[in-house]
């Protein structure tokens, strides 16, 4: 199974920390409380998928590292 690339658009992050709470260790908040991935590429992780699906500002992007296609969040 191919790996996922994780990114967070800090311009639309609203600092809900939903991702930090849902997927411990996968996201970190910076000084302005904006989120970013702890690692830019990860093995598939259902909690990270949940975090992306639950983000209130849809700031988290998950793409298949091989194909560049978005990962289906609705699973």
Residue 34 or 65 having the CB closest to another protein: 34
**Residue 62 · residue 5 · CB < 8 Å:** yes
Nearer to another protein, 41 or 72 (CB): 72
Locate all alpha helices (DSSP H) within the chain, ordered by sequence: 18-22, 46-54
| Residues at the interface with another protein (CB under 8 A) | 12, 14-18, 20-22, 24, 32-33, 50, 53-58
Our CB check for another protein shows the closer of 67 and 75 to be: 75
Distances (CA, A) of 39 to 3, 11, 25, 32, 42: 12, 19, 9, 19, 7
Smallest distance from the beta carbon of 1 to another protein, in angstroms? 21
């Amino acid at each position: 199974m191919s790996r996922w690339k994780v990114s967070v658009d800090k311009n639309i992050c609203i600092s809900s920390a939903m991702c930090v709470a849902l997927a411990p260790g996968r996201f970190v908040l910076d000084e302005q409380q904006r989120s970013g991935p702890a690692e830019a590429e990860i093995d598939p992780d259902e909690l990270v998928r949940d975090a992306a699906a639950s983000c209130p500002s849809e700031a988290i992007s998950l793409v298949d590292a091989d194909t560049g296609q978005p990962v289906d969040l609705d699973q």
